[in-house]
Amino acid sequence: MGLSMSSKSPSQARSTQAMSTQTPNLLSTLAITVSGLSKSYRNFHQPINRLIQILRPKKTGLYTDFFALRDISFSVVRGESVAIVGRNGSGKSTLLQLIYGTIKPSSGQVDTQGKVAALLELGAGFDPEFTGLENLRMTAALYGITDAQLAEKTEQMLAFADIGAFIHQPVKTYSTGMVVRLAFAVIAHVDADILIIDEALAVGDAVFVQKCMRFIRDFKQHGTLLFVSHDMAAVQNLCDRAIWLDTGRIQQIGPAKEVAESYLQYALQQVAGDEVVLQSLPPETNTKGWETGFARITDVQFVNLNHPERECFEGGEKVSMRITIQASQQLVRPIIGFLLRDRLGQDLFGENTLRITTEGQETPVLAGERVTAVFDFTLPLLPNGQYAVACSIADGNLHDNTQHHFIHDALIVTVSSAQARWGLVGIACDQIRLEPAYD
């Protein structure tokens, strides 16, 4: 369930949502309702003006209002997973704090149904002078955990945090990773209905992050998730919908994949600056992506080298990915590449021509010239299903390049095999055997 409105303007989206929240049947299924939410702060022109404002409240011209959020409206259905994306300073963290209730709105309101647990600013709510165990107990109490419940759950929390003897040390001695471990251990055991996470997992080690991801996936089976991340793969993997904030306003609301693709284009445009304009592909192309007009991908083919007539793949066969491009302007160091993604938008593997266009070995493409990049390889043992191929043509090097044409779903690859595969990408073992083990 949920609203899918990426094709509408932000104002249309808010209007539609406002009307939908008046429906009695929908009201009973909503976990979060945000209506006309704004948050402003006073930027005083001089430090002394703050004191003057206190002494003379009616005096004007002492400050200007800065809006961290302005007129935000949306709703989240129970059991839905929603990502909040946007650049630093766009208002993501402010929105989460308003929903959780740690700060008050300047106008508008937030309604939540059920117990809310949040992992917001790193270490927020912890007293640095108290030990980890003392902070754990105090935080659990704030979530309404009784002494009897805490006695049952303390060992589980400590095992989840896995910080050993440091649990008896002051939190001020903790590393950032240890603080996250302790905070997540608490929210994972308070039986919340709504879970709010603000990018905190970015500082965790790989083992702990995997543990948290397993918990989040289990939580999604019965709870509502609000998740802030700059990782678009994680957004598409974990979330049903996404909300893109820009300078405190809603830029787009829609399915996670659509919003992630739009935000990626926006982010790359910010990198490119005024040199080129990344224009969305026209609707008649039936593809999503962008182009600058410098070069275009004109053809994409994926073939079985031994059986070109086969349209379905098994995995393990020799294949060839062929991407043809045409340059409108000269490309000094062209980079043609592809990524194969699963249905959740996760990048499984890919390749590009960067290795043959490195410094000192430039192979420019002249204006009007057409070239085909050919990638011959053995297709990994993929689980049965359909996979999307994203293709691009760029100019530059690994660290400094401009994407001139990018297509998200240039090709759909179907894999079907009777052989069982394990994990996201299976491996072709040369031999599997059992042999006696000796000391």
Q: Do 381 and 256 share a structural domain?
A: no
- Are the C-beta atoms of 414 and 388 separated by less than 8 Å? no
Task: Give the pLDDT score at 84.
Answer: 96
Ranking 26-35, 322-331, 390-399 by mean pLDDT, the lowest is 26-35
Least confident of 89-98, 240-249, 377-386, 421-430: 421-430
Same domain, 344 and 372: yes
Q: What is the CATH number of the domain that holds 48?
A: 3.40.50.300
Please tell me whether residues 255 and 294 are part of one structural domain.
no
Would you say residue 178 has pLDDT above 50? Answer: yes
Alpha-carbon distance of 138 to 74, in angstroms, equals 33
The pLDDT of residue 19 is above 50: no
Buried b (16+ CB within 10 A) or exposed e, 192-211: bbbbbbbbbbeebeeebbeb
Do residues 18 and 90 both lie within one domain? yes
User: Average model confidence (pLDDT) for the chain?
Assistant: 87
Query: At 219, which amino acid appears?
Result: F
Let me know whether 231 and 284 are in one domain: no
What's the pTM value of the predicted model, to 2 decimals?
A: 0.79
CATH number of the structural domain spanning residue 347: 2.70.50.60
* 436 belongs to a structural domain: no
Residue 369 lies in a domain: yes
In a domain, 175, yes or no: no
Residue where one domain finishes, among candidates 264, 284, 316: 264
Phi-psi region at 397: left, alpha or beta (left = phi > 0; alpha = psi -120 to 50): beta
Name 98's Cβ contacts closer than 8 Å, sequence gap at least 6. 37, 39, 69, 104, 105, 110
Query: Does 321 lie in the same domain as 282?
Result: yes
- What is the tally of structural domains in the chain? 2
Whether residue 123 is contained in a domain is answered as no
The verdict on 44 and 19 lying in the same domain is yes
- Determine the structural domain holding residue 220 and report its residue range: 10-114+193-264
Residue 272 pLDDT class (50, 70, 90 cuts): confident
Q: Which residues contact 131 (CB under 8 A, 6 or more apart)?
A: 167, 168, 169, 170, 171
| Opening angle at CA 164, ends 206 and 122, nearest 5 | 55
Instruction: Kindly list the distances between the CA atom of residue 57 and the CA atoms of 40, 66, 67, 176, in Å, as whole numbers in the listed order.
Output: 17, 18, 20, 41
Residues 291 and 320 in one domain: yes
| 207 and 294 assigned to the same domain | no
In a domain, 126, yes or no: no
- If asked whether residues 106 and 41 sit together in one domain, one would say yes
Confidence of residue 416 (pLDDT cuts 50, 70, 90): very high
Check whether residue 257 and residue 294 sit in a common domain: no
Query: Would the pLDDT of 10 be above 50?
Result: no
Q: Which residue has the tokens 């993501």?
A: 92
